[in-house]
Chains A and B, each alone.
Chain A
Amino acid sequence: MNSQLPAEFRVVVDKERCRRCKRCVLNCSFGTLRFENGVVADDRNCVACHRCATYCPENAITIERNPLAYKYNEHWTEEHRKNILKQAEQGGMLLTGMGNDKPYFSYFDHMVLDACQVTNPSIDPLREPMELRTYLGSKPDALEFEETPNGLRLKTKMPPQVKLETPIVFAPMSFGSISLNAHKALAMAAKELGILMNTGEGGLHKELYPYRDHIIVQVASGRFGVNREYLNNGVMVEIKIGQGAKPGIGGHLPGEKVNQEVSETRMIPVGTDALSPAPHHDIYSIEDLAQLIYALKEATGYEKPVCVKIAAVHNVAAIASGIARAGADVIYLDGFRGGTGAAPTIIRDHLGIPIELAIAAVDDRLRQEGIRNRVSIIAAGGIRHSGDIAKAIALGADAVAIGTAALIAMGCRLCQKCYTGKCAWGIATQNPELVRRLDPEVAAERLVNLIRGWSLELKEILGALGVNAIESLRGSRERLRGVGIDAQALKILGIKHAGL
């Protein structure tokens, strides 16, 4: 069927500036640009990935939103009308990539942090020590010490802990959904920074084994690449129940992306679809979850914390309580802004709840039940800067996970076309020509720079708050205030309105 859909963008090439070097044509991976006595654009294919514009030596390219006017309609927006046209032409579910982009109310943007003035002095982190180190893992209910000739000794046997030099981990993104070079960059940066990367559900490529001290290995419903060797090649094992971008639904890596290397890592034949069922079919209850948690502990000699990742949904507090009681050491909460390589748009944009509310609700519930110490909380789903991190931690998170921000640092332009496998930046693709574009060392350096910058900012925030350790901010909601948040949400967040 011929498409009636108008182009979303227009590629405008300044004919006077263009020297006809064709670099833009070579760089375009979406088939928009070609050369016919000059650069010609098929605007319908443009996704605004900015690859051509970035690499044009003459700055001759601009990408514009197609100004084609739609008759104004508050209810039937342009987007709704285009989606209906698209589905009417092709049938099927709308597919998208990255996180929920809809204008839901952002609690992060309506919370502010405190700062010291006069009576309680602030601290200058440039001159005084400032502690960001964070340990993920279950903490005992109490500590017992014993006297020895060499002084006091900790008698309590500590459950396994994983050290982070800054309260940030990279979010799970599988090799398959992203390229091996992207995976390498994340692993290299995690090692350099003293933090963790996460395999996602795609197994662990052998080239990443040297980074094992900085890797969380994930076990999801498809169990791809999961064996004892894999489980013991990370410092933490994560059971993925759900994902913020697509709560309650499975995953589907199309056979075209399962090349030789993806095949070896996932341990499935080349070219076969990798289907991850929506639920783990061996987990239909909290008791079943407990069974898998302890199966993983048995398989790893009780030496590694086991994390359970869930999407933030209704009743998340009760679910988290169940997970803590099932024996998890870490709970990973993924809010509705969380990213994905591919998800039905309608799921991404309409299921799940904001991470800010989920953190507060879970932290409250676990405290009320006296089991908050049993688990660490990783919060994720739309963390954009160190301010979001400080707020998430003040609400009760132990650390945050960043996926989208890490991808942007590596070059991602949020064009949301990850699922096409055509990523012009060499990130969400398995096409060797495109993968080559991402130099893992350069990408790792960019990641290190980003996390270094955020860590410095976190120290400044702590200094302004007059505390010298991230531990002092954790769950300290008194240091947060809401601006323009309604009474019910303030109650859930456990914070006062600004001015009080």
Chain B
Amino acid sequence: MIIDAKGIYYRQLNEMIKEAVEAGETDIVLQNVNGQRYIGTNLGRPVNITIHGVPGNDLGAFMDGPTIVVHGNGQDAIGNTMNSGKIVVHGHAGDVLGYGMRGGKLFIRGNVGYRVGIHMKEYKKQVPVLIVGGTAGAFLGEYMAGGCLIVLGLNTREGEPLAGDYLGTGMHGGVIYLRGQVDQERLGKEVAVFDVDEDDRKLLEKHLSEYCSDLGLSLDEVMSRPFVKLLPVSSRPYGRLYVY
């Protein structure tokens, strides 16, 4: 089913998508999307939504199930508090992606802005995966409590940093993989850099083969550069603060 979103207010558009899903549609194509917010938020079923254009903020906020593919750039707060499902963005995306994300996958082909992956967490079988093809801004993975964050730095220039300052500040769970080196001064004091081992490599291959297949990239090329991983140095970064 194709919906032309041109000039349609977000509330109406989301209502139209919801009605289509309730009528049994499983594949919905949205044309001419231009800033409409909250697409996918009110859907609780594993449907496929293809977006042509630029969806607005909070794409897939609280999302539970759908798969969204964006042929274009994304804006801010994609996958906010997402529970399950998948979002693939073929272009760049903005700030605060995957905030409090508990499950599902968020694949960005290009660069992302500030505050990405803050307070991602995991629970039982729900382990969120956020992959950035380009580079990320400051505060990547702040307060991270679980899940897997991967930054590839594809098409970066020699010496160009993969992420901004305060990387992993307050991190107390989960793992961040970087395809390349990271300057010590960019790190939050709650994380440290480790070499990747065989298990990491398997995990990376698993996630990245899906990423590459979704975005038409070569896995071999992506895996051709060495990765490092960031882990929290303590699961209790804020212990010993108080007097009883």
Point out residues on A near B: beta carbons under 8 Å.
86-87, 90-95, 219, 221-223, 226-229, 231, 252, 254-255, 263, 267-269, 272-273, 275, 277, 280-282, 291-292, 294-296, 298-299, 301, 344, 419-420
Contacts and interface: CB of A to CB of B under 8 A. Distances in A.
B236 A268 contact: no
Contact of B61 (A87, A91, A299, A301): A299
B235 A298 contact: no
Given A226-B100, A282-B77, A275 B235 contact: no
Given A273-B235, A299-B61, A94 B243 contact: yes
A264 B77 CA distance: 26
Nearest to B100: A223
Contacts of A292: 58, 80
Contacts of B38: 294-295, 298
A390 B240 CA distance: 43
Contacts of A269: 122-123, 146, 173
A335 to B, nearest CB: 24
A298 B142 contact: no
Contact of A268 (B11, B42, B118, B146): B146
B109 interface: no
A275 B41 contact: no
A252 B119 contact: no
A249 to B, nearest CB: 12
Interface in B3-37: 11, 14, 37
A281 B119 contact: yes
B121 interface: yes
B62 A273 contact: no
Nearest to B38: A298
Contact of A228 (B83, B122, B139, B242): B83
A90 B57 contact: no
Interface string B35-58: 001100110100000000000011
29 contacts: A92-B240, A92-B241, A93-B242, A95-B243, A219-B81, A221-B119, A223-B81, A227-B81, A227-B102, A252-B238, A269-B122, A273-B235, A273-B239, A275-B238, A277-B143, A281-B96, A281-B118, A281-B139, A281-B143, A291-B77, A294-B38, A295-B41, A298-B11, A298-B14, A298-B41, A298-B42, A301-B42, A344-B242, A419-B242
A294 B42 CA distance: 11
A299 B172 contact: no
A344 B172 CA distance: 22
A90 B235 CA distance: 22
B121 A93 contact: no
A301 B146 CA distance: 30
A227 B62 contact: yes
Nearest to B44: A228
Nearest to B56: A291
Contact of B99 (A93, A281, A298): A281
B168 interface: no
B85 to A, nearest CB: 11
Interface string B202-244: 0000000000000000000000000000000001101111111
Given A269-B146, A295-B38, A298-B37, 6 more contacts: A226-B62, A267-B126, A273-B172, A275-B143, A291-B37, A420-B244
A245 B122 CA distance: 30
B62 A231 contact: yes
A296 B235 CA distance: 31
Contacts of B146: 268-269
Contacts of B41: 295, 298-299
B105 interface: no
